Structure formats: structure tokens, C-alpha cells
Chains A and B, each alone.
Chain A
Amino acid sequence: MNYQSDNKGYYGTFGGAFIPEMMYQNINQLQNCYLEIIESSTFKQEFRQLLEDYAGRPSPLYYSDRLSEHYNTHIYLKREDLNHTGSHKINNTIGQILLAKRLGKTRIIAETGAGQHGVATATVCARAGLECIVYMGEVDVARQSPNVEKMKMLGAEVRSVQSGSKTLKDATNEAIRDWINNPVDTHYIIGSVVGPHPYPDMVARFQSVISEEIRVQLKAKTGRETPDYVIACVGGGSNAAGAFYHFLNDPDVKLIAVEAAGKGVASGESAATTQLGRPGVLHGSRSLLMQTADGQVIEPYSISAGLDYPGIGPMHANLFITKRAQFLSATDDEALKAALYLSQKEGIIPALESAHALAALEMIEFKPDEIIVVNISGRGDKDMETYLKYYQSLK
């Protein structure tokens, strides 16, 4: 089975480019040239060099003695939290800024939830000398303020979005509106494997360096290129797309995607799209979508701003429907508990998003000889306020 998109951007029945005519020129241009550009040797060389010298790749694959002991198996942590800017998001923004430069664009826009993609975009824009505007929901501006300050220091303008639930979905709407109003000079750096074709495929390709490295690192450490499990959190799904990418056609590798259950899947305050959603169209592609019977998008909820999104990328919708990946969900509490556990057992404070992936370790029965890779997509600096509150509540 092929789990990649076809040339029109479809993963099975999901994907495509459902865009208003106002976006046609930009999307059509990207569709026609993205592969040629990103597969060219000069692009690849520049991209690789920056990943290495600027972002600090390869990120380590770290064997966690204490988690392995606790769960009686072999657990490796893919340390995307150690990248420059603190998450996997930099992999994609480095790729897209190089693309934008080649397209002659001078102005960059982005949406952000947790602020990690916003910071990663502001970072590459500073380096490239391009104007940068980041849309961020008002709720997220408040709960991820360290990242807002970072973006400002990097020279970006952060526009607080007041519409809807004032989170990631609404920031994405506003970024799309900006692009409609500024079609000539602007490139939109989408931060996840969502949006119209070619974004899901393009972002997945830029993030695929994660699984490419895992294969090499695992081989060096264990003699095996493939683990038994790869576990990653899914909001839109970019870190999971990157962590799964080079294992999609290895059926023995179990792919575990962990969604945010919020206060519980049935609580009415959740972001577990595969459990709560149906096929629908939002932000330019057909995917699974949390919506009412009338097709209005339901406002999701998660304590983690990066997972607080009512859809998932079309690639993941297809992995869910075809059962290639298993989808689990972790509640706010389970994620907080997992974050605290990793902090105190391994001295690594993970991002709240990544903590959802860690929470899945509690949900699976591993065998002692199995190899598990958990993608630690980001570090927890931005979440300290939330963590402190939680920690104090335990006292």
C-alpha cells in the first residue's frame, strides 16, 4: 500500500486542494514547482547544511535507561527538543524559507498555536532578512507568552487573533485571509502537514529527516534499522509525519499517533479528531474534522496549544482509516503526569505536546526485547507556567 500522496495531493480519499480562487495562483505555483525545487541538488545541499550547522542536527537518539527499566522494554527518545528554537518545527521552516527565497517572495506569514512554529518562522526570517508576521490566537498569546516575546525579539510582528475560539484554527483562518489579501509578495509558511496540496506532502518531506536519522542512529546503536514502535503526538501532525515517514512501508514497525483527549474524549472538551471527527473540508484539504451534524467546525480543547486543532493532516487521516497507524489519546492529566515523570527520571522537561506521546507508554503492553522510539518533539520551557501550576496543585 502507498501511504504517500498522489500528484494531486490525495492520500486515499483525503487531501486535495479545496481553495478559493483567490489562492489559486500561489497554490498552483507551489504545486508545479515544489518538487523540482526541493529535490534539486543545490537546494538539498543548502537545506542539509543549515539543518546541521544552524539547527544542530542530527538530533540525538537517546536511550532512556530509567524509562526502559520502568516499562521493562527498550525506550529511545528522539531528541527534537534539542534543536535550535526548541522543537522539530525548525526543520520545516528552514526548508520553506529556502523555497520562499527561490520564489522571490519578500514577506512571510505563519500561524502558530504553541508558538513553536511561530518562533521557528521568526528565526529563519531574521536570518533571511524577510518581513515576518505571525498570527496567533488570543488564548494562545496568553498561555504561551515566552514564545510571543521571543518572536518579537526576533523581529516578527505577532498579530493576536480574536475570532472563533481564538486558538490555532482561527490563527490559520487569519493567515489564509492575509495571503488572499497579499498574493504577490507573500509566502505562507504553514507549520503542519495540513492545508491544501502541496503543503501536507511538502511539510512531511521537510520533517522526514527525523525518521531518516532514526534509522541510521538505531542501526548504529542496536544493529537494527527499524524499531518495533514509533510513538508521536498529533495535532496537525507534522512531528508524527516526520517520525513515521521512513517507516510507512515497514509493516513491522507499529506507528502510534497520540491525540489530545483534553478533559476526556467524551467530555465535550477534547481535540481527539479521529475519535470525534468525520470527513470534511477545512483549511484547503479534505480530512477528518471535528464538526457538528450541520458541518460547522467544533472548537477543540486541549491544555496543549500545539494539539488544540479540530482536524488532522490528510496523511494521518489516511493512516487512521487504513489502520496503518494506531491512534491513541491522552488527557491533560495523563500528559502532565508523563511530563513530570520524564523530568524527574531523566532530567528532560518535554513540551506539553510531546508529553502526550510519553503518556502513551502507559497504554501499551511492551515486550522486554522490543525497541520503542518516542519522538520528543519539543522542550517544555514555554509550558513552565502550566507545569508549575500542576506541580503546586500536587503539593
Chain B
Amino acid sequence: MENRIISLFQRKDKNILSVYFTAGYPNLNDTQAIISQLELNGADLIEIGMPFSDPVADGLVIQQSSEIALKNGMTIHLLFQQLKEIRKSVSIPLILMGYLNPVMQYGIENFCKQCSETGIDGTIIPDLPLEIYEAEYKVYFEKNSLSNIFLITPQTPEERIRKIDACSKGFIYMVSSSSTTGAKESVGNEQIIYFERIQKMELNSKRLIGFGISDMASFERASNYANGAIIGSAFITALSGEPSLERNVLTFMQKFQ
């Protein structure tokens, strides 16, 4: 079957809005509702976070949402159950994002197979480096038509960016600054210089910029230099509290219309 991430980028080249949320937060069974509301309100791509007890690449907001999600009882098993019927109602690409250990314990081969059966299009596993992926895991991901997305940062040397570009299917996740998630709330000049540097490299892969994208201004600024941007911590902050999940998603997404 055609990978929805690849067809998304074929259809839409600019201002792709990708939204991350932690599965199991704020409540255990909000997963389907959040996905549906996001699609309804204009998200192009959704990254579903699989919570982990020790998320070292994440700042406070995602740490806390992960902790609550785990307390609520979220597991990869349960997440696949919640997503079982998702392709009956949702057509935008879905990505699972999380740390390696829970995926490893689930079983990599089984995980990839479940992703494929559920209609998941890609994965982001920050602590699975390119070299280990290529040597040990790639075969299972490719067998199930999963795009495993790699990150680059302002520190990534050009030679390595070229290597990541050559191995990427789907898109490259450009981390906007040297930081954990949610550490900055804006896109500054230092980031722009980095975005321009990458733009000039004329990579084959599509690019989305994440980390520090929190509102329309930062989204637009980043999108000028890539195919779109990713919002995580800011969305999670907006999810909690009154009045309701639906209203919270709507209010948040309206900022990006």
C-alpha cells in the first residue's frame, strides 16, 4: 500500500502542520478523539507519542504528560488496541514516536507488523541511531512499509546530513535548536541561519522543523525554510484543562488557520 506520508508530501509542499501528542494524556482513552479532532481542524500529520518513563530528549511538558499517561495505564499494547479502528475514520498520515526500550520489549518485528496492520505510516525513535537502525532494524520497518524518520540538529555535520538524507524515507525531522523539546518558544536568528544552511544543501528529502514551534508566528517562520513544522509541547499544554478536549483542540488549531 502507498505510504501516506509520501503521498502527503506529493500533494502538499508548503506549510505542512504536524502535531505531536502523548497517547494516554490527559486521559487514557482520549487517543482516538484527539486524532479525529486534529484531522478535523486541519492537521496534516499526527505524531502519536508512546510514553516512556525516562524521556531524555524531552523537556518538562512532555515529561509530565508521559508520566501522567503511564499512571493512567498507557502501554504500546493498549495503544494498538485503541488505534485498531482508526483507519475507518482518519485518513491523514500517522506516526508513532517514542523511545527504543518499550518498542524493544514489545518486540521490534511484532511492533512493525502491528503498525502496518493498524495503518501507521512511520516511526520516530530518537534513541535509535541511524547506524544501528540500518544494521539491525531496517529490514523489519521496510517489510512493513514504515518510514522511520531521522533527526538532524544544528550540530549535525554536513557529511552526516547527506548520509541521513540518503537513508530517509518520508521526511527529515529538523530539530530547530540544540535543545530538548519545549525548551524554547520561538524561532530566533540563530535558527534561521541554520535553516538557510540546510535549505542551501538542496537535500532530496522533505523537511519538517520541530522543537520551539509554539504558535502561528514560529510556525510560519520555520515553514519558510522547510515543508512545514511540528508542534508538540505547546499543543500538550493547550490540551489540559477546561472546557473540553474538543474545544481545546479546536481553539488551539484555530491559531494556525
Cα–Cα, bound, A303→B122 (Å): 44
* Contact present for B63 and A180 (CB under 8 Å): no
Interface 0/1 of B59-78, CB less than 8 Å to A: 10001000100100001110
Q: Which residues of B contact A24 (CB under 8 A)?
A: 129, 153, 155-156, 160
CB distance from B24 to the nearest CB of A (A): 12
Determine whether B56 belongs to the interface, using a CB cutoff of 8 Å to chain A: yes
Q: Which residues of A contact B54 (CB under 8 A)?
A: 164, 169, 173, 282-283, 297
Cα–Cα, bound, A283→B53 (Å): 12
Cα–Cα, bound, A18→B54 (Å): 14
Interface 0/1 of B135-157, CB less than 8 Å to A: 00000000000000011110111
CB distance from B66 to the nearest CB of A (A): 10
A residues apposed to B, CB below 8 Å: 16-22, 24-25, 163-164, 169, 173, 176-177, 180-184, 278, 280-284, 289, 291, 293-297
With A18-B132, A281-B127 given, name 20 new contacts (CB 8 A).
A18-B129, A19-B127, A20-B126, A22-B153, A22-B155, A22-B175, A24-B129, A24-B153, A25-B155, A164-B53, A177-B56, A177-B57, A177-B180, A180-B56, A180-B179, A181-B183, A278-B105, A280-B105, A289-B101, A295-B102
Q: Which residues of A contact B76 (CB under 8 A)?
A: 294-295
Cα–Cα, bound, A4→B141 (Å): 32
* Contact present for A181 and B157 (CB under 8 Å): no
Contact partner, B104, options A176, A283, A295, Cβ 8 Å: A295
Q: Which residues of A contact B59 (CB under 8 A)?
A: 177
Cα–Cα, bound, A181→B56 (Å): 11
Q: Which residues of A contact B195 (CB under 8 A)?
A: none
Q: Which B-chain residue is minimally distant from A181 (CB atoms)?
A: B179
Determine whether B198 belongs to the interface, using a CB cutoff of 8 Å to chain A: no
What are 24 inter-chain pairs, A to B, with CB distance below 8 A? A16-B132, A18-B127, A18-B128, A20-B57, A21-B151, A24-B129, A25-B156, A176-B56, A180-B56, A180-B178, A181-B180, A183-B153, A183-B155, A184-B178, A278-B105, A281-B101, A281-B127, A282-B54, A283-B56, A291-B101, A294-B102, A296-B53, A296-B102, A297-B53
* Contact present for B105 and A22 (CB under 8 Å): no
What 3 A-B pairs have minimum CB-CB distances, sorted nearest first?
A295-B105, A295-B102, A21-B151
CB distance from A8 to the nearest CB of B (A): 9
> Could you tell me how many residues of chain B have their Cβ less than 8 Å away from some Cβ of chain A?
41
B residues apposed to A, CB below 8 Å: 52-59, 63, 67, 70, 75-77, 99-106, 126-130, 132, 150-153, 155-157, 160, 175, 178-180, 183
* Contact present for B104 and A21 (CB under 8 Å): no
* Contact present for A180 and B57 (CB under 8 Å): yes
Contact partner, B101, options A17, A181, A295, Cβ 8 Å: A295
Q: Which residues of B contact A164 (CB under 8 A)?
A: 53-54, 67
Q: Which B-chain residue is minimally distant from A178 (CB atoms)?
A: B180
Q: Which A-chain residue is minimally distant from B77 (CB atoms)?
A: A294
* Contact present for A17 and B129 (CB under 8 Å): yes
Cα–Cα, bound, A280→B100 (Å): 9
Known: A280-B104, A291-B105. A21 touches B56 (CB 8 A): no
Known: A284-B127, A295-B102. A20 touches B155 (CB 8 A): no
Known: A176-B56, A282-B54, A294-B75. A20 touches B102 (CB 8 A): no
Q: Which A-chain residue is minimally distant from B74 (CB atoms)?
A: A294
Q: Which residues of A contact B58 (CB under 8 A)?
A: 177
Q: Which A-chain residue is minimally distant from B52 (CB atoms)?
A: A296
CB distance from A291 to the nearest CB of B (A): 7
Cα–Cα, bound, A219→B58 (Å): 52
Q: Which B-chain residue is minimally distant from A180 (CB atoms)?
A: B180
Cα–Cα, bound, A148→B14 (Å): 52
Cα–Cα, bound, A381→B12 (Å): 65
Cα–Cα, bound, A184→B190 (Å): 14
Cα–Cα, bound, A182→B102 (Å): 27
CB distance from A312 to the nearest CB of B (A): 15
Contact partner, A21, options B99, B102, B150, B180, Cβ 8 Å: B150
Q: Which B-chain residue is minimally distant from A280 (CB atoms)?
A: B101
* Contact present for B151 and A20 (CB under 8 Å): yes
Cα–Cα, bound, A388→B156 (Å): 52
Cα–Cα, bound, A294→B50 (Å): 11
Cα–Cα, bound, A280→B240 (Å): 32
Q: Which residues of A contact B180 (CB under 8 A)?
A: 22, 177, 180-181
Q: Which residues of A contact B129 (CB under 8 A)?
A: 17-19, 21, 24
CB distance from B80 to the nearest CB of A (A): 12
Q: Which residues of B contact A22 (CB under 8 A)?
A: 57, 151, 153, 155, 175, 178-180
CB distance from A141 to the nearest CB of B (A): 19
Cα–Cα, bound, A17→B160 (Å): 17
Known: A294-B75, A295-B104, A295-B106. A21 touches B53 (CB 8 A): no
Most buried by A among B103, B105, B128: B105
Q: Which residues of A contact B151 (CB under 8 A)?
A: 20-22
CB distance from A41 to the nearest CB of B (A): 30
Known: A22-B151, A180-B178. A296 touches B156 (CB 8 A): no
Q: Which B-chain residue is minimally distant from A163 (CB atoms)?
A: B63
* Contact present for A20 and B56 (CB under 8 Å): yes
Most buried by B among A21, A173, A289, A296: A21
Cα–Cα, bound, A181→B132 (Å): 24
Contact partner, A293, options B104, B105, B127, B128, Cβ 8 Å: B105
Most buried by A among B53, B59, B77, B156: B53
